[in-house]
Structure 1
């Protein structure tokens, strides 16, 4: 049976970054990637899991300089983001977080980004295998090597260090971690896919040139039901944009007053499908145009210009590092449906895991990822909790006071005073939420809960 120093399950941003970091330090690193087809990629590769945009400080989290990105990866350099409530609007031109990148951020071609990370891993010496399905992992802590990675083709691997980077569906991570959970607990209970994930849908559409804005990403809040459910428009290469949405899985339309939500209709028998939501968004925002004026660009995305994918919408977990296992990126719940993206935390956690595995110091992984991305996770889970029960009027109220609550450096107490009682209420709830998650309490499965 083949032995490798570091086996990595999943070849997306986390997996490729782990492979590069491990191979660069001399480890025999192998990436096992199932592979999916895309219309905009030759052959198969990793699945897409976000709308493919990066903010300025995210590059610092990833450890990349913007100049490193190939020209064909970057699509539109952004000046800011626009946020809309049902009857309100807020524009931000700074994230308010220190960053080396001199700009707000940029949108990017996700498949080319994935392939670039793959090339970096291969150039560092990693073995990146596409079309390889992992069926499970068996661990014997008394054995050497500790892990047997079962492959669908029967060509199994043995390793002492395992990096799980299989994304928010956790098809391999779930069963692997179940081996170390106390009796009666399973990962499907802790992070069930139908509640711990959102579903995202987007279409690549050619916009009328007079409507295409290459400088801003746009988000609409409070016009469709569901916690952190929102549609967006992301500019690609002019005049193509990605128009899509994120929403929880398994919503029941009977739980909502249809009249309150702009993208619902009285005759809806259930929550609309993604393509119907996109059509209604276009009709709402551009009433003087027909949907046909926004044709699909069918040689983009996964299938004829469309993409559907899961996004983690839960709190992260620690890894059973005593067993030589690190869970990274979306599989660990470190990505966020609140801000629609997680490439930056996937890359960073992958880099940490790969480096420590190669150095045979993986026991440091949990401490290092907390130090590296803890502030980002803390912000996201706190904001997600803050807006959990918001309806349309709450979003309008928030955006109408947001210009007083926010400056270029973030939420300020004196700005809250200018925002009135509602401003104070929001700041207090946010600060209290962050306090409650202090010292890593945002983790929902701690290292000491594993039976290792």
Structure 2
């Protein structure tokens, strides 16, 4: 049986970041990836933030396969054929060090894997880990599906993604439920770069994002997005699995309905679908996080339920948690200390980072939205009707129109209901 200092299970951003940090600390490190190569089994909306990525690979933007730097972010609500939009634009974001880029996971993950190999990491592909090896309750390696496929390790870092089969086997997590995952579907729609820049009012090479709520998901807990790439748009919809099942929607129905919306249809006009992808997203939040360590084992990324959907922060949480896991693993090996106290350093460092602080800050958000489905059903309609009434000029005095607006608002949601929602949102989001 071949032995390593660190075995990383999973070749996504979390696993590769863990491998890079462990290898740079002098550890003999291997990544085991079930796909043909890192990136083949992975999907994300497609926005990568600079700061956490730079912590893993300094000045990555100079050579990584990136699409467009994002200089504008739009947010909106859809209600039938109506749309209510807000936006923030900063051209400075088009200059180094940037704020965020649009990316495709396949080329980016392959590039990140190359950075790991440059750091001395061995990557084994087309191999599935089916269980851990134990000695006195300590994880001391993995068992793969290959013949004579046992590998020994002083530390194992689990970054298997949202499907947490191994975390469950290790006694750290519960099986996924329809309340703890969302399903997202995405299409890559080809358009000429000049067309993209014209439709999104961008200078050459610049990018923009759009996040849409309300009727974009038929009022279900979730959102839709449009991200600009060099010569394509990433268009997707994601919704919590439970209401999706209850409403008898399929993910394909959801994205087709979204693309048919007038606001969206115009942006996609003339495009050709080149890729179609679907994936599960961890949505359990802080209160549904598994235990993220045991002797000889650390858990990072989606497997640890590290996801902040409100700010579309998944990849950066994965990379930061992976980097910390690799550093803690190396530290434990150097000190020859694999006690619970040594493993707990990983959780302590995560809690000191933005990762756990943000997870804890938004811990009530998911439950609040799930228990108040009217928020994404009624409020987009309310906002659209109020703005239509206010902005329509038809000879009615503004004082009278304001009274009509208040009457309309209270027809949709009572005064008591409004106050209750404001208080609930304040607790959940602030």
Q: Which has the higher helix share?
A: 2
Write the deviation string for residues 76-109 of structure 1: whole angstroms up to 9, x where unpaired.
22222212212442424279xxxx9765532122
- Could you state the TM-score of these two structures normalised by the residue count of structure 1? 0.72
CA distance, structure 2, for counterparts of residue 142 and residue 286 of structure 1 = 56
Equivalent residue for 1:119? 114
Q: Which residue is 1:205 aligned to?
A: 189
CA distance in 1, matches of 2:292, 2:240: 28
C-alpha deviation, 1:21, in angstroms: 0.6
Do residues 137 (structure 1) and 132 (structure 2) align? yes
Q: Which runs of 5+ in 1 are unaligned?
A: 37-42, 179-185, 257-269, 298-304, 402-419, 436-452
Counterpart of 1:365? 346
**1:347 positional shift:** 0.3
Change (3 A) 1:64 1:148: closer
How big is the shift at 1:391? Answer: 3.0
- Say which is worse superposed, 424-433 or 388-397, in terms of deviation: 424-433
Which one has the largest radius of gyration? Answer: 2
Where does 1:48-447 land on structure 2 (aligned, <5 Å)?
Answer: 48-55=42-49, 59-60=51-52, 63=55, 67-71=59-63, 73-85=65-77, 86=79, 87-93=82-88, 104-141=99-136, 146-153=139-146, 154-177=148-171, 187-188=174-175, 191-192=176-177, 194-207=178-191, 209=195, 210-211=198-199, 215-223=207-215, 224-225=217-218, 227-238=220-231, 240-251=232-243, 255=246, 270-274=248-252, 276-285=253-262, 293-297=270-274, 305-316=275-286, 317=289, 319=291, 321-360=293-332, 361-372=342-353, 373-388=355-370, 389=373, 390-395=375-380, 428-433=423-428
The CA deviation at 1:427 is 6.0
Find the aligned partners of 2:359 and 2:367 in 1 and give their Cα distance. Answer: 12
Are the counterparts in 2 of residues 84 and 221 from structure 1 also a CA contact under 8 Å?
yes
Indicate the residue corresponding to 1:264 in structure 2: none
Give the TM-score, by structure 2 length.
Answer: 0.75
Cα displacement (A) at 1:140: 2.9
Structure 2 CA distance for partners of 1:426 and 1:61, relative to 1, 3 Å:
farther
CA RMSD, 1 decimal: 3.5
Aligned to 1:359, what secondary structure does the other structure show? Answer: helix
Kindly provide the CA deviation profile for residues 22-58 of structure 1, in whole angstroms up to 9, marking residues without a partner as x: 111111111111015xxxxxx5645223112034xx6
Checking the alignment, whether the CA contact within 8 Å between 1:52 and 1:341 is kept in structure 2 is: no
Moved more, 346-355 or 229-238: 229-238
**How far, CA to CA, are the matches of 1:71 and 1:423 in structure 2?**
50
Counterpart-to-counterpart distance in 2, 1:385 and 1:247: 14
Q: Do the aligned partners of 1:197 and 1:313 also contact (CA within 8 Å) in 2? A: yes
Shift of 1:136: 1.1
Structure 2 Cα separation of the partners of residues 195 and 272 of structure 1: 16
Q: Closer, same or farther in 2 for the Cα pair 1:355/1:393, shift >3 Å? A: same
When residues 65 and 18 of structure 1 are mapped into structure 2, their CA distance, relative to the original with a 3 A threshold, is closer
Give CA deviations for 1:405-440 in whole Å, capped at 9, x if unaligned. xxxxxxxxxxxxxxx9999766643443368xxxxx
User: 1:175–1:187: 8 Å Cα contact kept in structure 2?
Assistant: no
3-state SS of paired residue (2:132)? strand
Matched residues, number:
372
CA distance in 2 between counterparts of 1:50 and 1:308 reads: 9
Residue 359 to residue 44, structure 1, CA distance change in 2 (3 Å): closer
Cα distance in 2 between the residues matched to 1:290 and 1:68: 31
In 2, the alpha carbon distance for the partners of 1:110 and 1:53 equals 10
**Matched residue of 1:366: which SS?**
helix
Q: Is the 8 A contact 1:334 1:342 kept in 2?
A: yes
Gaps of 5+ in 2: 333-341, 387-414
Deviations 1:171-201 (A, max 9, x none): 32221235xxxxxxx621xx43x33211111
Instruction: Name which of structure 1's ranges 311-320 and 392-401 shifts more when overlaid on structure 2.
Output: 392-401
Q: Is the 8 A contact 1:9 1:134 kept in 2?
A: yes
Q: Secondary structure at the match of 1:221?
A: strand
Equivalent residues of 2:174, 2:290 under 8 A apart: no
SS in 2 for 1:391: helix
CA–CA distance in 2 between the matches of 1:323 and 1:138?
12
Q: Rate the CA distance shift 1:90–1:252 in 2: closer, same or farther, 3 A.
A: closer
Post-superposition CA distance 1:371-427 (Å, at most 9, x none) = 1112222344344344332232224557999xxxxxxxxxxxxxxxxxx99997666
Q: CA deviation at 1:245?
A: 0.8
